[in-house]
Structure 1
Amino acid sequence: MRTITLIIVHCSANRAGSALRMADIDSYHRSLGWIGCGYHYVIPTDGTIEPGRPEEMVGAHCKNHNRHSIGVCYIGRLSKDGKPADTRTDAQRIALRNMLERLRRRYPDALIVGHRDLDPQKVCPCFDVANEYHDLQPC
């Protein structure tokens, strides 16, 4: 069993309204020679929570942090004109919170962070994860 200390929120860097799904990310990551989707969960614009890589497997979503984290990715990040923005739909907001609540019950000591909190070169996921989910953080 892996020790999980981080739950990392990502975005896919697609334009708002993208029809991308976990299967598309899985195909792309396989084309890179990976064993499949690097995220453990993907949340398309309709708010469906799609499983990617099994939680017991190390992800491929955040350099230097994969061994001790779970990666959750929402589809979006770019506004219609291609600028970084929080493009989550209402359905994605609800699904992401529900997913994070479930993961916190499973991993009560894990911090919930955004990719950008671990790599200042990134803007992903285009919102302040720690602030938005402060009520879910460990005491």
Structure 2
Amino acid sequence: MRKIDLIIVHCAATPEGKDFNVSDIDRWHRQQGFKSIGYHFVVRLNGEVERGRPIAEVGAHCKGHNATLIGVCYIGGLDADGKLPKDTRTEEQRKAMLNLVRTLKHVFPGAVVRSHRDFAAKACPSFDATKEYY
């Protein structure tokens, strides 16, 4: 098992209320030249957690930092028009993400949670994951 010291939370930068899944993101990432989906987990609007890239593989979601990270992405992150950042998490997503983060922190003791925006000039994930999952 590779060393994990960070759990990075992302949004899919998709419009509020529009559901997507791992297959959609995998397709988008392959179109950008990735070998597969860059995230390890995707949380859908209904709270379903889908597995993306296997944890044993280095992700492709936080340039320059991927070697020791796990990437968690929730569907949403933009307003209904798809133009402005917005915390669009449903209650189901909030619960699922909290459970997922707790599980990952248990499996990888010492791993800390950060927002993608802590590492890139983006609004992603449109809320402060660093503070919320401290």
Q: TM-score normalized by structure 2?
A: 0.95
Structure-2 separation of matches of 1:36 and 1:67: 16
Tell me the SS of whatever aligns to 2:14. coil
Which structure features the higher share of strand residues? 2
Structure-1 separation of matches of 2:98 and 2:122: 22
The answer for the alignment partner of 2:115 in structure 1 is 114
Shift of 1:44: 1.1
Shift of 1:32: 2.4
Shift of 1:19: 1.7
After TM superposition, the structure 1 = structure 2 runs for residues 65-84 of structure 1, keeping only pairs within 5 Å, are: 65-81=65-81, 82-84=83-85
The answer for the alignment partner of 2:46 in structure 1 is 46
The answer for the alignment partner of 1:100 in structure 2 is 101
4+ aligned runs moved over 4 Å, structure 1: none
Tell me the amino acid that sits aligned with residue 106 of structure 2.
R
The answer for the alignment partner of 2:59 in structure 1 is 59
Deviations 1:92-122 (A, max 9, x none): 0000001001100011111100000122x11
The answer for the alignment partner of 1:32 in structure 2 is 32
Structure-2 separation of matches of 1:130 and 1:14: 21
Q: TM-score normalized by structure 1?
A: 0.92
Identify unmatched segments of 5+ residues in structure 2. none
Tell me the amino acid that sits aligned with residue 107 of structure 1.
F
Structure-2 separation of matches of 1:53 and 1:80: 28
The answer for the alignment partner of 2:123 in structure 1 is 123
Tell me the SS of whatever aligns to 1:54. coil
Tell me the amino acid that sits aligned with residue 25 of structure 1.
I
Aligned residues: 133
Identity among equivalent positions (%) equals 49
Deviations 1:60-86 (A, max 9, x none): 000011100000000001111332110
Identify unmatched segments of 5+ residues in structure 1. 135-139
Shift of 1:30: 1.7
